[in-house]
Amino acid sequence: MNAAEPLKCRPSDYKSEVKPIWCPGCGDYHVLMALTRAMAALGLPPERIAVVSGIGCSSRIPAYTNCYGFHGVHGRSLAVATGLKIARPDITVICASGDGDGYSIGGNHFLHACRRNVDLAYIVMDNHIYGMTKGQPSPTTEPDFDTALAPGGTGLRPFNPLVVALASGANFVARAYSGNPNETAELIVDAIKHPGFSFVEILSPCVTYRPDQRSWKDRVHPAPVTPTDDPARAARRLMTDDGFNLGVLYRGHRAPYTPPTAAAMVAPESLEEEFEV
Amino acid sequence: MSGANVPPVTSVAALYGIAHRIEADAAERYAMLADQMETHNNLDLARMFRDLARAERLHADKIRELAGAIGVGDDGGPIGPWKADSPESVDLYAARYDMSPHEALRMALAAEERALAFYTDLAASKVDRTVRDLATSFAAEEREHVALCHRLLERYPPASAARPGDPDAPGDR
Ligand SMILES: Cc1ncc(C[n+]2csc(CCOP(=O)(O)OP(=O)(O)O)c2C)c(N)n1
Ligand code: SF4
Ligand SMILES: [Mg+2]
């Protein structure tokens, strides 16, 4: 077989023997389905893919694939994924987080990953809650979402991940809904293929702490406009986004970050010489 | 969750491919639910979903057999032809770890009804006679499955209010 020819794979070829322990009904099951379908569509051998995550229900996803995986430290999925891609540019790196992992404790890494534009795909399973720790509000929780843990709601303006990604320099920005697994798979394929830092926000309901999110299936709708490569136009579109537009918003042309070549690097010995007294 | 966004089925080969895909997707979904119920120690339901998965797998095999030399290759590839779910796939969002057999059968019934609607709509649409005849025969089979679900639902009436509650339900804070 020609080395460049994609393999003929089935989604099940990318599933591990580990059975997910997510709550029945959790949207993350659909994300796993979409992710493995995307991998099969790309025809990449599992050993050429690494799935890196942080901590949270959503961040358990690497264990459920049979690719290389790294279940990292809370909020640090992007730091690990970035390092891995720089060290092994031949590996397809997919980074996964939840809204808590990616936008709270990992928020700073998110900004800088967009800015650095290293060639990796970042999928965030956003359920507007901390699922794993029993339902605390996250940066995307609605201000009036009333729980025993935040009586009356937080009253805080939610974080808009697409606005932040675009403003910080992400090269590909999209939104998916886990209940449309095939459309989500196609967006993941698109994100992986697009050079640079590709961000896909996946609305993925937490049926246990946000049973109201079962209604998301009636709220999502295709974005009424086609993707743009003009960041100013994409930004204007986000001003009227209701949070449920699905599809690719922005597809940029910025060249991905490439690490300096060995020749351009300073040898540690020469630094030692400089500091010699 | 709908049969919307279905690519136009213009040939018998395409219909065999789609029909096989529908059954294979449904089998995958029931197997996932069986695993979920096993993990959450709802073993009666795990068995029920495992049986349903096996039944859908047999249907998929039967369609492959019927297709003979035409084959079922034209099924949309790894991602599949639907934006949302294929018609006969149970709605995963409706699952709960403590659901009753009655609720599970209701999920299965809804899926069978969607498959029936898919084939009925297809047979009623402007398609070639050979496609229409095949869609009609698939619809007849789905109608039988709908009837079977109704019969099973009689055997498993809605769970009584006395069903023991979980003293440490995950949603409780
Ligand atoms: C350093 C650190 N701080 C806090 C926690 C506790 N913790 C675990 S998961 C989590 C939030 C996860 O939320 P999210 O990323 O949205 O994932 P979900 O469970 O909703 O999928 C928190 C705060 C932790 N594990 N480590
Ligand atoms: S708590 Fe919520 S996010 Fe976590 S597995 Fe359950 S449904 Fe999914
Ligand atoms: Mg979350």
- pLDDT higher than threshold 50 for residue A56: yes
* Residue B168 pLDDT class (50, 70, 90 cuts): confident
Q: What is the mean pLDDT of chain B?
A: 88
Residues of A in contact with B38 (CB under 8 A): 19
> Considering CB atoms only, which of A9, A11, A205 is closest to B93?
A205
Torsion of CA A154, A159, A160, A165, to 10 degrees: -170
- Quick check: A276 pLDDT over 50? yes
Distance from CA of A40 to the nearest CA of B (A): 6
Main-chain dihedrals φ then ψ at residue A74, nearest 5 degrees: -55, 125
d(CA B26, CA A32): 16
Least confident of B108-112, B123-127, B161-165: B161-165
Query: How do residues B10-64 score in pLDDT, each as one tens digit?
Result: 899 999 999 999 999 999 999 999 999 999 999 999 999 999 999 999 999 999 9
- Residue A5 confidence (pLDDT) above 70: no
- Who has greater pLDDT, A7 or A136? A136
Q: Nearest-CA distance from B85 to chain A in Å?
A: 6
Whole-angstrom Cα distance, residue B79 to residue B5?
A: 14
Q: Tell me which of B22, B41, B43, B79 to substitute to probe the interface with A (most A C-beta atoms closer than 10 Å).
A: B79
Can you give the pLDDT at residue A8? 78
- Report which protein residue has its CA nearest ligand 2's atom 1: A131
Residue with the smallest CA separation from ligand 1 atom 6 is A133
Residue type, B34: A
Residue A142 pLDDT? 97
- Per-residue model confidence (pLDDT) at position A268: 80
pLDDT higher than threshold 80 for residue B5? no
Model pLDDT, residue A1: 42
Q: What tens digit of pLDDT does each residue of A110-124 get?
A: 999 999 999 999 999
User: Per-residue pLDDT for B74 more than 80?
Assistant: no
Of ligand 2's listed atoms, the one at least distance from the Cα of A25 is 7
Q: Among A21, A25, A217, select the one facing B95 at the smallest CB separation.
A: A25
pLDDT at B172: 63
Task: Give yes or no for residue B103 having a pLDDT over 50.
Answer: yes
* Ligand 1 midpoint to CA A127 (Å): 12
Contacts for B81 with CB less than 8 Å, ≥ 6 apart: A182, B5, B6, B7, B18, B21, B75
Per-residue pLDDT averaged across A25-49, rounded? 96
Tell me what the mean pLDDT of segment A51-70 comes to: 98
Mean of pLDDT values over B134-153: 95
Name the average pLDDT for chain A: 94
Q: Which atom from ligand 2 is nearest to the alpha carbon of A135?
A: 1
Q: Which domains does chain A have, with CATH numbers?
A: 11-274 (3.40.50.970)
Task: Output the pLDDT for position B163.
Answer: 52
Q: Which residue of A lies nearest to B92 if distances are taken between CA atoms?
A: A25
Using the predicted structure, report yes or no on whether residue B161 has a pLDDT greater than 50: no
Least CA distance to A184: which residue of chain B?
B83
What local confidence, expressed as pLDDT, does residue A4 receive? 56
pLDDT tens digits along A98-113: 999 999 999 999 999 9
Going through chain B in order, the beta strands assigned E by DSSP cover none
Exposed / middle / buried, residue A214 (Cβ in 10 Å: 0-12, 13-18, 19+)? middle
Question: Would the pLDDT of A220 be above 80?
Answer: yes
Contact predicate A199/A173, CB 8 Å: yes
Q: Whose structure tokens read 């339900």?
A: B169
A150-154 mean pLDDT = 96
User: Are A174 and A249 in contact, with CB atoms under 8 Å apart?
Assistant: yes
* Mean pLDDT confidence for A25-32: 97
Nearest alpha carbon to residue B33 among A119, A47, A26, A240: A26
Contact between A246 and A176 (Cβ < 8 Å) = yes
Could you identify the atom of ligand 1 that is nearest to the CA of residue A54? Answer: 15
- pLDDT given at position A187: 98
The class (CATH top level) of B11-159 is mainly alpha
- What ipTM score was computed for the predicted complex, to two decimals? 0.90
